[in-house]
């Protein structure tokens, strides 16, 4: 088996990232399967401490911020995220180095006989076991693990972490997780374990009430950013933003003035929740200083989130994929680029609230190009054009990102920027196509030379 064959085998497993379910239940998402798999390989998830992160928006950013700080503090880190932008290997990293192709092959060959003896093992369950095995064998000091979907029944929820983090919650995957914010909060709060501290970003009252109740019932101390930690914004520009952070009661050794290279005030909430979580780790014996926090935050790398691909012309890519994240993106665009209008290159998955996203983004847009990513769930451009037309606007249909970017650049004028958004997969296509267009190194992806 070579790398491409290993990846192809994983994709033969049930993949809920590429198909739509009508329910989210123990019959479809079953922790017993992943627990049996982990037991068969020696329970690697019990051999490292972890930070476990769930949420609708921002969990990847919080994970990246936490990992960078822990690495700056001298810890050997595991980093588990989903989905990936360019290569499967992004999902499993040690010290922010993507897992080697050879290791992917070795792990697939190791777990394949076990998987084939257990009916209905999913893609995500299999790769979660691979990730935890890689972390244990790499002897990481701590792993930062992002939930895949939901929380309560997510494969990563076998962890007994040092601290859990719940990022901003909104209505997404309602057909799976519930039709109300409270139902979604219930699924996300499923990562709260008995006695294990939990940190939450500011939430709407309906969601916070669920998190507070779960924390109280499980005896888990709850820290809420905005209540227990205060974050004051500072100067901001296209390179990043400064802020001051302090713990409200008693202060903390991690209080201080910091800077992050991520744009949008929502990233300040993410940074604050990450620091609050690491302050809990510090209280539990980890050695993390304000200098480590400053160095780690400033070095955080998290592409595809309000990422400026070019300044002249202005090209921005963001993976917003629901109305809530689109609204957050719009607010950030209006603040960071006041007075700018946008040529919108838009593509989305067919199961998303396309109309809700368009209603948010179209008022900023002078020209719209609809296209699709190379993903099984991507909506057809003609359907997206119909959705634009239903709002009273018009859109040009483009068959791929190459044509979309070139057409977008052709219609740019003074005060116009090019905005690519609607899905993570579309942003990945845009980053790769922009590299081709400018002659920059192409992001490493799974289409490149195999081992």
Q: What is the pLDDT of residues 394-415, one digit of tens each?
A: 999 999 999 999 999 999 999 9
Q: Where in the chain is the domain with CATH 3.90.190.20?
A: 307-438
CATH number 3.90.190.20 is the correct assignment for the domain at 307-438: yes
Q: Where in the chain is the domain with CATH 3.40.1190.10?
A: 3-298
User: Phi first, then psi: what are they for 273, rounded to 5°?
Assistant: -70, -35
Report the C-alpha gap between 10 and 89 in whole angstroms: 13
pLDDT single digits (tens) 117-127: 998 899 999 99
pLDDT single digits (tens) 322-374: 999 999 999 999 999 999 999 999 999 988 899 999 999 999 999 999 999 88
pLDDT value at residue 449: 42
Report the C-alpha gap between 366 and 361 in whole angstroms: 10
Does residue 231 register a pLDDT over 60?
Answer: yes
> What average pLDDT does range 73-94 have in this prediction?
97
Does residue 320 register a pLDDT over 70?
Answer: yes
User: Among residues 271, 291, 288, 266, which one has the least CA distance to residue 279?
Assistant: 288
pLDDT value at residue 445: 86
Q: Which two tokens stand for residue 88?
A: 């499967």
CATH superfamily of domain region 3-298: Mur-like, catalytic domain (3.40.1190.10)
Q: What is the share, in percent, of the chain residues with pLDDT greater than 70? A: 94
Say which DSSP state 168 is in.
Answer: B
Does residue 240 register a pLDDT over 80?
Answer: yes
Give the CA distances from residue 360 to residues 45, 57, 330, 331, 351, in Å, rounded to whole numbers and listed in that order: 41, 17, 7, 10, 18
pLDDT value at residue 63: 98
Report the C-alpha gap between 431 and 440 in whole angstroms: 10
Report the C-alpha gap between 356 and 370 in whole angstroms: 15
């Amino acid at each position: 088996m070579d790398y491409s064959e290993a990846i192809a085998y994983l994709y033969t497993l049930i993949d809920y990232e590429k198909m739509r379910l009508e329910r989210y239940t123990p019959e479809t998402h079953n922790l017993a399967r992943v627990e049996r798999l982990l037991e068969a390989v020696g329970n690697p998830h019990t051999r490292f401490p972890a930070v476990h992160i769930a949420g609708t928006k921002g969990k990847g950013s919080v994970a990246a911020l936490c990992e960078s700080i822990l690495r700056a503090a001298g810890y050997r880190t595991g980093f588990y995220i989903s989905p990936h932008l360019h290569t499967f290997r992004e999902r499993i990293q040690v010290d922010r180095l993507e897992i080697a192709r050879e290791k992917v092959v070795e792990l697939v060959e190791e777990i394949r006989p076990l998987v084939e003896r257990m009916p209905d093992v999913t893609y995500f369950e299999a790769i979660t076991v691979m990730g935890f095995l890689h972390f244990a064998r790499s002897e990481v000091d701590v792993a930062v693990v992002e939930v895949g979907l939901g929380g309560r029944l997510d494969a990563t929820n076998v962890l007994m972490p040092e601290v859990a983090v719940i990022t901003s919650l909104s209505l997404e995957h309602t057909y799976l997780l519930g039709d109300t914010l409270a139902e979604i909060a219930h699924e996300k709060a499923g990562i709260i374990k008995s006695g294990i501290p939990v940190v939450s970003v500011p939430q709407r009252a309906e969601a916070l009430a669920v998190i507070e109740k779960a924390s109280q019932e499980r005896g888990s101390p709850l820290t809420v950013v905005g209540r227990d930690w205060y974050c004051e914004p500072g100067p901001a520009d296209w390179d990043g933003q400064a802020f001051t952070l302090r713990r409200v009661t008693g202060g903390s050794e991690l209080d201080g003035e910091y800077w992050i290279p991520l744009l949008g005030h929502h990233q300040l909430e993410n940074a604050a929740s990450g620091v609050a979580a690491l302050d809990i780790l510090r209280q539990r014996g980890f050695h993390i200083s304000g200098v480590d926090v400053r160095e780690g935050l400033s070095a955080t790398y998290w592409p595809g989130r309000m990422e400026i691909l070019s300044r002249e012309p202005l090209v921005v890519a963001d993976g917003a994929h629901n109305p809530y994240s689109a609204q957050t993106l719009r607010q950030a665009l209006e603040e960071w680029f006041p007075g700018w209008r946008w040529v919108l290159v838009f593509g989305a998955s067919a199961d998303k609230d396309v109309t809700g996203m368009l209603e948010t983004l179209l008022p900023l847009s002078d020209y719209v190009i609809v296209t699709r990513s190379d993903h099984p769930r991507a909506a057809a451009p003609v359907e997206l054009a119909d959705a634009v037309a239903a709002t009273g606007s018009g859109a040009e249909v483009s068959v791929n990102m190459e044509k979309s970017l070139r057409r977008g650049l052709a219609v740019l004028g003074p005060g116009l920027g090019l905005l690519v958004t609607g899905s993570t997969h579309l942003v990945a296509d845009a980053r790769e196509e922009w590299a081709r267009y400018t002659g920059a190194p192409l992001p490493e992806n799974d289409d490149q030379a195999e081992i």
